[in-house]
Amino acid sequence: MDIARIDYWAASGGSVMHKASVPSKVLATAAVIATVIIGSFLPLLVALYLMVLISVRAAGLPVVKVMVISFLPGLFALLFALSKLGGGLITPVIILLKAFTAASAMILLLSTTPYNDILGFVGRVMPRVLRDGLFMTYRSFFILLKLMDNFIMALKLRGGFQRGRFLHNSRNIGSGVGMLFINAYDKSQRLYDVMSIRGYSGRLSGTHRYRAVSANDLPYLLVAAVFLGEAAYAMQSGRQGSLSSFAVLLLVYACLMEVLRVWKR
């Protein structure tokens, strides 16, 4: 999974989904995941997945790339789905669709919301030291990722990777990982020293203010709530909504998000 690309999408976007408040997107994502958990009818899950893809389109994200990224965590459900083939194809398809929908919803949230905003919202229930540690770890990850890329490139240029020499290549990689660990420890110590000089006393200052509720918050949150209500009703009554009602809901949602996308451009 390309974490750097997801972080770039979240920080550089200006779509209707990017401009929505963090609480509304978190609640909408929670509603989608709850629907995935309790929903058991194939038409409902298909409509829910299409709704998430419409939201991805409204966010200005490449739909195909998001689908490919969502397939990676969804592959963990493949073995479980294959074990259910004895009862027909419907059950395996539902299992895979649930995995892909939940993964796509989480990728949509992460791709439209900067990490520090998510951490600032979720971190309200975390100890401060844990929240600060997660923030610094996330930012340091990209520094170490760049160092690892430079190491692999240097290793290739100097003949460190040779075809058919597994032990030789493994030894070079092990040495590089060891140097990377030492470099990471050294950088963490330098970072702490710099922060201490600049007044760090065990807490990072930040803002907890969020955007006021606007038109950007309502479509995704309301439609996700409608799907959750439909899944809860179907679970209680055993009856599912009609395909025509799902189609109308998706059409109205797609038109509304397209209008907001063009209007906010």
Q: What is the pLDDT of residues 49-87, one digit of tens each?
A: 999 999 999 999 999 999 888 887 777 777 777 777 776
pLDDT bracket for residue 211 (50, 70, 90)? low
Report whether pLDDT(260) > 70.
yes
Is pLDDT of 27 > 60? yes
Is a pLDDT exceeding 60 seen at residue 1? no
Q: Buried b vs exposed e over 36-70: b needs ≥16 C-beta within 10 Å?
A: beebebeebbbbbbbbbbbbbbbbbbeeebbbebb
Any idea where the domains of the chain sit in the sequence?
Answer: 3-119+213-263, 127-197
Q: Is the C-alpha dihedral spanning 228, 234, 235, 237 positive or negative?
A: positive
Alpha helices in the chain (DSSP H): 3-12, 16-19, 22-38, 42-58, 63-74, 78-82, 90-112, 115-122, 128-157, 166-197, 218-237, 243-263
Question: What gap in Å lies between CA 94 and CA 77, rounded to an integer?
Answer: 11
- Name the most confidently modeled range: 155-169, 180-194, 238-252: 238-252
pLDDT tens across 161-185, in order?
777 777 777 777 777 778 777 877 7
Res 87: pLDDT: 65
Q: Considering the entire predicted model, what is its pTM?
A: 0.75
The residue among 128, 231, 146 whose CA lies nearest residue 184 is 146
Average pLDDT over residues 88-94: 83
The whole-number pLDDT of residue 75 equals: 76
Average pLDDT for residues 115-144, to the nearest whole number?
72
pLDDT of residue 2: 67
Residue 265 pLDDT greater than 60, yes or no: no
- Tell me the pLDDT band of 151, cut-offs 50, 70 and 90: confident
Average pLDDT, the chain: 81
pLDDT attached to residue 173: 76
Query: 112: pLDDT confidence band, cut at 50, 70 and 90?
Result: very high
Copy the structure tokens of residue 184: 């990471």
Who's near 130: CB < 8 A, 6+ residues apart? 123
